[in-house]
Structure 1
Amino acid sequence: MHLSKAQCQQLLPQTRAELINACSDVSVDFPISDSAGVLVFESGNKSFVAPYVKNKEIRRAHSKDAVTAQLLSNPLPNGLRTTLQSGSYSQERFISVDQSNESVILDESIIVKWQLTAQKSLGAHKEEILTENGFAHLPELLGNIYWDEKLLASVNKYIPGTTDGWTWCVDKAKANDLGPWLVNLAHLTAEMHHCLEGLIHGDFHVGQILKTSQSDQLWVIDFDGDPLASSQEAIDPLRDVASMCASFFHVGAVAIKYGADPSVIKEWIVQAESIYTATYFEGNAFDIKALHSLMRSLENRELKYADKFLPQWRYAPEFAIGYMEELHYGSS
């Protein structure tokens, strides 16, 4: 099947369309009906994954198309494999927060995360290790969908009533709340690193932490990591700690944007970082200069990411960089 550059762009989430810079003459189609299915197509040097619908034109499926629900309510097309038990699903709800991979909630019971590209997934491997080692802060992994050993989608139990840290943690900042949740988050981080047996999360920030309004129970999601990370960074636990601490600055930026007092928020950021790191390192000495230098480096990347993919987010890393400079983070 030949796909023009424009058709390829229509098959990706809108915020990722610019990743397409060429047409595609190589694709594998897994139809689930005459007008819908899953397509893996090559453009550039990547194999992109697209649940699709096809009438006069082919495009990425929307929630109203219920393509993911159809796929998981029937035996998978030939060529795909999974350990997931098929069910019966009808309602889809997309998660609107920006992320590289697109997440779809089915019947408010399971969450399906479509990969942007088909590749062997370290993230899926990490979730399997965590499950085997009894890590209690992971939404139950129900199964993965593979094509030729490459991950196309993962399926986890959906925990109703949860929000990610761009909601609940911003509320904590606005309320100047430095309570038990920070200790819980540090303990979760330490237990996660222990269970991962030398691996790390790789893209660890408050947006990857789910919480209900009824308790301080926390869950961690999205272990795909940062594709821009060096091989050394990908195994260094300090990177996860730095990334989480840097996200407290982003939380502060959001809170200030929506009317919080900047001086109160700035103090909250410093105190949140202090409690989190002291708990994670169990009160032992650690290289705080290395931590702050890494945080500053991560912010430079965050700003570049915002410039390329999410310009409306630029204010957050700009605030973080400015405040980190004020605190002399990263200076020799």
Structure 2
Amino acid sequence: MPPPFGVRRFQPLPSLSYAPEDLHTGVPGERDFGPHVDQTNYSVVVAEKVVVKWLNPPAPLPHPTPEILAHLVEAGFNDTAPPYAALTRAVDGREELLALVTGYLPDAGDGWEWCVDEASAGTAEFASELGRLAAELHLALSPLSSEAGAPEDPAARAEAALREALDLTGGDDGRWLAAHADKIRRELAPLDEPVTGPLIRIHGDLHVGQILRWRDGYAVIDFDGNPTLTEARPYQPAARDVAQLTTSLEHVAQVAVKRRGTPPARAARWAAEARAALLTAYRDGLAEAGRQELLEERLIRPFEVEQECRELIYAARHLPRWRYAPMGVLRSWYTEENIA
């Protein structure tokens, strides 16, 4: 690579060379994912073999993703898009991350597609696979645990999220939220107790949209962290990832009701069944590795409640039409109303 560019390699790239008789492969040399894909960055598929994700804007180094990808390769974790390389550039004496190069997974769709199909059909067999996938990811990331720095105050973080959600949510939803704020705070109360389990390098934005179902199974992607919570510390209880994953199943149920006409009661039963299966498989995965201590069970529910507050903040600041999903979940939790 000519200066000021650089490349960090994780695994060998697949060959993009062809014999003369193979030059007309029938696939485009390059394409993007199309306007229907909601993404912060811009991804290009090359020869149906490689995805180049251009960060928009470039991110200053150090950046979490290259380190995590290198570690996952070393740990033998293969349930992700194969990581090949990171492209960097030096600017005024500082390095920045320009792009990430990973493998293309054929016939892949994210969870906002395939998981909504499952909710509409009322099938939840997939949930056990997701639970095991999350356990294997945390087991692979757990050697990156860190004791450096002062511990985060999870109670203060959750209270701040609730206050911001109350400030940003207007209309009937805002009035409902204010009327139920005391109930929500009671659910957050366990966060006042010290976290006793280990802190590990978590995914940080683990929801069904980050899990692809492709031709050969499931793959977790996007280790950039939560773009709407840039101040979050990378080392957290594993329960935070677990809670975000379980709440995303609740959001899928809301999407199925709104967009597919799934009866609310049936969607609620599906979400409960899928959540239970996912948690059982996750616990079993840790137990088989003798690492049950990674999951501090009492944290799951308050982290789930905090996550719904964060979903309301995200809706207010970035995607107003999304508010129906977290509000539907909260209404189902705190009143006798069905899913909206």
Higher helix share: 2
Secondary structure at 2:249 match in 1: helix
Q: CA deviation digits over 1:36-81, x for unaligned, max 9?
A: xxxxxxxxxxxxxxxxxxxxxxxxxxxxxxxxxxxxxxxx664111
Correspondences of 1:56-71 after superposition (within 5 Å): none
2:108 maps to 1:107: no
Q: CA deviation digits over 1:244-287, x for unaligned, max 9?
A: 00100111111111211111110111111111112212287976
State the 1:296 CA deviation. 1.1
Equivalent position of 1:92 in the other structure: 31
**Equivalent position amino acid for 1:154 in 2:** L
Measured in 1, the distance between the counterparts of 2:264 and 2:99 equals 41
Equivalent position of 1:183 in the other structure: 128
State the 1:319 CA deviation. 1.6
Correspondences of 1:28-107 after superposition (within 5 Å): 78-83=3-8, 90-95=29-34, 96-107=36-47
Distance 1:233 1:152, change over 3 A: closer
State the 1:111 CA deviation. 1.1
Equivalent position of 1:306 in the other structure: 315
Whether the 8 Å contact between 1:124 and 1:224 is mirrored in structure 2 is no
Measured in 1, the distance between the counterparts of 2:29 and 2:124 equals 41
Residue 127 of structure 1, aligned match among 47, 66, 69: 69
Measured in 2, the distance between the counterparts of 1:98 and 1:194 equals 30
Equivalent position of 1:192 in the other structure: 137
Measured in 2, the distance between the counterparts of 1:106 and 1:268 equals 38
Sequence identity, in percent?
35
State the 1:101 CA deviation. 2.4
Measured in 1, the distance between the counterparts of 2:333 and 2:298 equals 12
Kindly indicate whether structure 1 or structure 2 has the higher relative contact order, using CA contacts under 8 Å at least 6 residues apart: 2
Equivalent position of 1:280 in the other structure: 282
Equivalent position of 1:153 in the other structure: 99
- State the TM-score, normalizing by the size of structure 2: 0.67
Equivalent position of 1:47 in the other structure: none
Higher strand share: 1
State the 1:232 CA deviation. 5.3
State the 1:230 CA deviation. 5.6
Measured in 2, the distance between the counterparts of 1:113 and 1:326 equals 43
Residue 142 of structure 1, aligned match among 73, 84, 94: 84
Secondary structure at 2:326 match in 1: helix
**Equivalent position amino acid for 2:7 in 1:** T
**Structure 1 range deviating more: 243-252 or 297-306:** 297-306
Q: Which runs of 5+ in 1 are unaligned?
A: 1-75, 328-332
Q: CA deviation digits over 1:109-157, x for unaligned, max 9?
A: 2111122332221022111111111102011111111113321110111
Equivalent position of 2:115 in the other structure: 169
Measured in 2, the distance between the counterparts of 1:222 and 1:202 equals 10
**Structure 1 range deviating more: 109-118 or 158-167:** 109-118
Measured in 2, the distance between the counterparts of 1:153 and 1:325 equals 43
Measured in 1, the distance between the counterparts of 2:230 and 2:280 equals 25
Distance 1:323 1:123, change over 3 A: farther
Whether the 8 Å contact between 1:164 and 1:206 is mirrored in structure 2 is yes
Equivalent position of 1:209 in the other structure: 211
Secondary structure at 1:195 match in 2: helix
Measured in 1, the distance between the counterparts of 2:232 and 2:318 equals 24
Q: CA deviation digits over 1:271-317, x for unaligned, max 9?
A: 11111112212287976552111111111111111222122322222
Measured in 1, the distance between the counterparts of 2:268 and 2:119 equals 10
State the 1:234 CA deviation. 3.8
Whether the 8 Å contact between 1:233 and 1:239 is mirrored in structure 2 is no
Secondary structure at 2:219 match in 1: strand
Whether the 8 Å contact between 1:165 and 1:206 is mirrored in structure 2 is yes
State the 1:104 CA deviation. 2.2
Secondary structure at 2:109 match in 1: strand
Equivalent position of 1:38 in the other structure: none
Equivalent position of 1:218 in the other structure: 218
- Count of matched residue pairs: 250
Equivalent position of 2:332 in the other structure: 323
Equivalent position of 2:299 in the other structure: 290
